[in-house]
Structure 1
Amino acid sequence: MMNNNILEVRDLKVSFRTYAGEVQAVRGVSFDLKKGEVLAIVGESGCGKSVTAQTIMRLIPSPPSIIKNGSIKFNGKTEITRLSNREMEKIRGSEMGMIFQDPMTSLNPTMTVGKQITEGIVKHHKVSGEEANKRALEILKLVGMSNPEGRMQQYPHEFSGGMRQRVMIAIALACSPKLLIADEPTTALDVTIQAQIIELMKKLSEKTEASIIVITHDLGVVAEMAQRVIVMYAGKVVEQGTVDEIFYESKHPYTWGLLRSVPRLDQDKDNELVPIPGTPPDLFSPPKGCAFAARCPYAMSVCGQIDPEHTVLSETHSAACWLLHEGAPKVERPVEAGGAAR
C-alpha cells in the first residue's frame, strides 16, 4: 500500500531549559499530513502550535530547546530529528518553506526584494543569476504582485503589509517546496488583505500541490483554508478531525470553548461571546490529569487524576476526553459551539 503522507509526526516532546526549570512546550504530539493537504493547527497562545511547526523546520535554537522524544518523518524516509544542521539546510528552503507571522521583522531591510527571493534559488538549484531572476519574476506574478520587474528592485519598507506578506510567500515558494508552513500568516493584516492572502494561499495549494500547515488561532482562516484540523492545548493534541467534524461534530469541551468564543453571523447581534474561563496551566509543572480539567465545566474527579487517551470517533476524527468513556455521564454539546460560519 502506497504511503500518501508527506509528513508523519509521532510522540513529539520538546522542552526548553531555563534558569527557572524545564518548560514542557510540546508533550507527545502525533499527526500525519497528506500530500497536497491543508492542515490547520489551532489553539490559544502558548499551546505549542508554533513550537511544533518550528521543530519540524528545526528552527528553534538548541540550547535552550531540546527534542526529548519522538519522530518527524518527512517524505516517507527522512528522519528530521536525526539530521545535522548542514543536512537540514539542504532541505530547508528547497523542500520545506515557512511563511512567518510578521513579514517586516522576517525580511532583510538592507536587501532588495528580488535579491531575497533569488538567494534561495541560487543556493539550492545552482542556477545563474539570470535564471534565478526569471524564476523570481514568475513567482512574484504567481503571488499576484503588480509590476514584478519594478518590485524586484525595491526594499521591504517600500511595500504595504499585504505586499510584504506576498513577498514572504514568494520566498517560501521560490524553490517549489513539498511542504509549506504558514505561522499566523494573516495576523498583522487588516481584514480585507487577510481575505486576499487566504484566497491566494488556497489557489497556490491547488496550483503547486504543496502540502500546507497553517498555524492559527483564527477559526475563520481555518474554515476558509483547511481540510483537516488539529486542536492543541497545553502542548498536546486534544482533538483532530476534518473541518466539518471539528466545526459541527466536535467532542472536546476545549474545542467547544474555542467555537463559542467566535462571533457568529447567524446569531442575534446582542448575543455575547463566551470566553473560556481561567488560564492555561503552567508548563513548568503540567497537571498529571487532563490539562483542561481546571477550566472545564464538565470535569469529573478522574479528569484531574488521569490523562485521557484518544477515543477514535471515525477514520479521521478522535478526541482525548473522559466524557467519551462509556461510563461517563452524557453531555450535550452547547448549541453555540456548532455551525460556525463557513
Structure 2
Amino acid sequence: MSAPLLEVNNLKVSFKMFAGEVQAVRGVSFTLDKGEVLAIVGESGCGKSVTAQTIMRLTPTPPSFIKDGSIIFDGKTDVTKLSEKQMMKIRGQEMGMIFQDPMTSLNPTMTVGAQIAEGIRKHEKLSKSAAMRRAVELLTLVGISNPGERINQYPHEMSGGMRQRVMIAIALACHPKLLIADEPTTALDVTIQAQIMDVMRDIQEKTGTAIILITHDLGVVAEMAQRVIVMYAGKVVEQGDLNDIFYKSQHPYTWGLLSSVPRLDSDKKAALASIPGTPPDLFAPPKGCAFAARCPYAMKICQEQDPEHLPVSGPTHTAACWLMHPDAPKVERPVAAGGGVTHV
C-alpha cells in the first residue's frame, strides 16, 4: 500500500498575543491519499483555516508558532522543518491554495494573465510568451470565456465568480499534487457557487489532484468530498467517509451541524435548529471535552477528562465522545441528523 500524500500528526499551532497564548490547533491528526477529496468542516474559529495555512506554512511567524507535531508531504518531506526558501519551492509547484476572498488575494495592480504566468515562470522556467499561452489554457480549463482577452484584464474588471476561477487557475498553474480550497464559495451567490464546485470537481477528475476542502457548507461537502473531518475548538471530534458522517455520525456536535441544515421536505414554518452557546475561549481551553458546555448529553466525566477517539463503524470512522464508552447511557441519534442533508 502506497504512503499517503499528506500525513498530519498531532499538529499543535498557537498564537502569542499580548493577553496570552491562543491555542488555535490542539493536536490535529489526519491523512490524505493521492487523488482524494477531504473536507474539513466546523464553525468559524474551530481551527480549519489555521490547519490549512500551516500545511502551506502561510501563518505569520510571529505571532504564530508550531508547538508540536509533523506534516509529512509526499511520504518524505516534513513541512514543519523546512525553511522559507525551501517552502517557496513547494508552494505553487507541489501545493496550491484557493483563498476565501479572491478580491483581496489577487494583486489589483497586475493583470490576471500576469498573475497566473508569474508562478509558471518561476517554477517551470518558461518564457513570458509560453507562460501566457499556458495562462490562456488555464483560463479555458476553469471555464472563462474569451480567455485571450481576459488575460489582459485586472481583477476589478471581473465578477466575483470570475475572480474565483482565476484563483483556481493560479492554484493549478504548475500541476500541484495537493490543492487546498479554503472556503472557495464564500460570498458568492448560489448559482455561482454551484458553477465553481462543478469546475473544481471537473478539474479533480481530469488531473487527479488531491483536494482539502475547508468549509462550513455541508451542501458543498455532500457534492465534493469522499471523507470528512469535523473540527471543534482546535481538535478533530469526528472523522469518517461521507456516508459515515452524514448517516452514522456519533458526536453530538456533528449532530448539531447536520440538524442545522435546512430541509426541502420539512415544514416551512418549523424553526431552523441551532447549537446553543458559544465555542470555548482558546486562551484557556477547558480541561475536559471542549463541547461539554453546549452538549445536551454532557456527563460529569465530560467536564473532567477529554475523550479519546474510538472506532464507530470501522477503522476510518472515529469519534471523540464519552457517549461511545460502554458504560455511557444509550442516546438515540436525532432524526434530523439522519436525513438533514438528503436534499441539499
Mapping 1:42-57, distance limit 5 Å: 42-57=41-56
| Residue equivalent to 1:326 | 326
State yes or no: 1:217 paired with 2:206: no
Mapping 1:1-342, distance limit 5 Å: 1-3=1-3, 5-313=4-312, 314-339=314-339, 340-341=341-342
How far residue 315 of structure 1 moved from its aligned partner, in angstroms, is 2.4
How far residue 188 of structure 1 moved from its aligned partner, in angstroms, is 1.2
Give the residue type in structure 2 aligned to 1:62. T
Q: CA separation in 1, counterparts of 2:16 and 2:68?
A: 15
Q: CA separation in 2, counterparts of 1:2 and 1:93?
A: 24
| Corresponding residue SS for 1:307 | coil
Q: CA separation in 2, counterparts of 1:36 and 1:109?
A: 33
| Corresponding residue SS for 1:297 | coil
Give the residue type in structure 1 aligned to 2:121. V
| Corresponding residue SS for 1:338 | helix
Moved over 2 A (4+): none
Once the two structures are superposed, what CA deviation does each residue of 1:155-174 show, in whole Å capped at 9, x if it has no partner?
00110000000000000000
TM-score by length of 2: 0.98
- Once the two structures are overlaid, the 10-residue window that deviates more, 268-277 or 164-173, is 268-277
Q: CA separation in 2, counterparts of 1:287 and 1:269?
A: 38
Q: CA separation in 1, counterparts of 2:74 and 2:325?
A: 36
Q: CA separation in 1, counterparts of 2:265 and 2:240?
A: 24
Once the two structures are superposed, what CA deviation does each residue of 1:106-156 show, in whole Å capped at 9, x if it has no partner?
000100010000000000001111211111111111000100000011100
| Corresponding residue SS for 2:244 | helix
Q: CA separation in 1, counterparts of 2:202 and 2:247?
A: 25
Q: CA separation in 2, counterparts of 1:203 and 1:286?
A: 41
How far residue 266 of structure 1 moved from its aligned partner, in angstroms, is 2.1
Unmatched 5+ stretches in structure 2: none
Q: CA separation in 2, counterparts of 1:171 and 1:117?
A: 5
Q: CA separation in 1, counterparts of 2:93 and 2:265?
A: 44
Unmatched 5+ stretches in structure 1: none
Give the residue type in structure 1 aligned to 2:181. A
Q: CA separation in 1, counterparts of 2:189 and 2:2?
A: 43
| Corresponding residue SS for 2:5 | strand
Give the residue type in structure 2 aligned to 1:52. T
Q: CA separation in 1, counterparts of 2:42 and 2:200?
A: 21
Q: CA separation in 2, counterparts of 1:135 and 1:149?
A: 11
Give the paired residue count.
Answer: 341
Once the two structures are superposed, what CA deviation does each residue of 1:269-296 show, in whole Å capped at 9, x if it has no partner?
1222111000000000000100000000
Give the root-mean-square deviation of aligned CA atoms: 0.7
Give the residue type in structure 2 aligned to 1:282. D
How far residue 2 of structure 1 moved from its aligned partner, in angstroms, is 2.5
Q: CA separation in 1, counterparts of 2:304 and 2:315?
A: 29
TM-score by length of 1: 0.99
Give the residue type in structure 2 aligned to 1:119. E
Q: CA separation in 1, counterparts of 2:55 and 2:268?
A: 41
